[in-house]
Amino acid sequence: MSQSELTREVARRVFASEFNDSTYTFKESDDERAPNYALLPTGDRANRVFVVGTLTETEDVGDESEYWRGRVVDPTGTFFVYAGQYQPEAASVLRDTEPPAYVSIVGKPRTYETDDGTVNVSLRPESISIVDDATRDRWVVEAAELTLDRIEAFEEWEAEQEAPESGSTAPTNEYAEMARERYDSPVVNYRNDVIQALESLETVDEADADDPEATV
């Protein structure tokens, strides 16, 4: 097996609001083993994501075998996580953890189209770990910074495309172009989500100052 086959895709830090809007998936080659990517509305691709939030609810929704669903909340929305017999370690964490609890998850986006044509996005975990509030706070800051980086690159590309003098010299941004074609949601929405997420940390800090024994 080649080194490239051994290399894992970078796990993107993505807030729930953008993750749930990432309804378009694609491959970049015809190879059946080629990775599936979710197209992020801020102009990037994600084969794997790294998220941290509060596990607020778990339920075994399987029929003949265990199939666990977890609801994980970050400052912008909710991730739905599903783990069954092919993700035994992640499933055991969902089974054994009493909500609420802070968790970190590395996993892959999965899309599902309902009968009415709605596309739902969920997370198939590779791993789930119990973490503390400091880890959650660091993730919020990192996800905010990386989301802003993607937004700025998207807006820079968009401005260049719209400049009348740019012509054929305008820089290319393949995934920003795909996102503009595929999605209606303006990227400014995700900038607002970043602000909301960072403000939520300030609110938590103020609450903790009032109640030093406050927990999840």
The 10s digit of each residue's pLDDT in 2-57 is 444 446 789 999 999 999 999 999 998 888 888 999 999 999 999 999 999 999 99
- The pLDDT of residue 63 is 85
Of 108 and 213, the one with more pLDDT: 108
- Asked, for residue 109, whether it belongs to a domain, the answer is yes
Residues 6+ away with beta carbon under 8 Å from 192: none
The crossing angle, in degrees rounded to 10, of helices 174-182 and 133-162 is: 90
Strand order in the sheet with 44-46: 25-26, 37-40, 44-46
Of 137 and 166, the one with more pLDDT: 137
- Asked, for residue 6, whether it belongs to a domain, the answer is no
Is the pLDDT at 153 greater than 90, yes or no?
Answer: yes
List pLDDT tens digits, range 67-110.
Answer: 999 999 999 999 999 999 999 999 999 999 999 999 999 999 99
**CA 124 to CA 49: how far, in whole Å?**
10
Total domains present in the chain: 1
- Asked, for residue 52, whether it belongs to a domain, the answer is yes
**CA 105 to CA 115: how far, in whole Å?**
29
Range of the domain at 63: 12-208
CATH of the domain at 51: 2.40.50.140
Inter-residue contact 105 to 165 (CB < 8 Å): no
List pLDDT tens digits, range 111-127.
Answer: 999 889 899 999 999 99
Q: How confident is the model at residue 205 (pLDDT cuts 50, 70, 90)?
A: low
- Asked, for residue 176, whether it belongs to a domain, the answer is yes
Phi, psi (5° rounding) for residue 48? Answer: -135, 150
- Asked, for residue 41, whether it belongs to a domain, the answer is yes
- The pLDDT of residue 131 is 98
Is the pLDDT at 214 greater than 70, yes or no?
Answer: no
Which pTM was predicted?
0.87
- The pLDDT of residue 160 is 86
Q: What 3-state class would DSSP assign to 98?
A: coil
The letter for the amino acid at 1 is: M
- Asked, for residue 1, whether it belongs to a domain, the answer is no
- Asked, for residue 21, whether it belongs to a domain, the answer is yes
The crossing angle, in degrees rounded to 10, of helices 188-210 and 133-162 is: 160
- Asked, for residue 136, whether it belongs to a domain, the answer is yes
Phi, psi (5° rounding) for residue 186? Answer: -70, 145
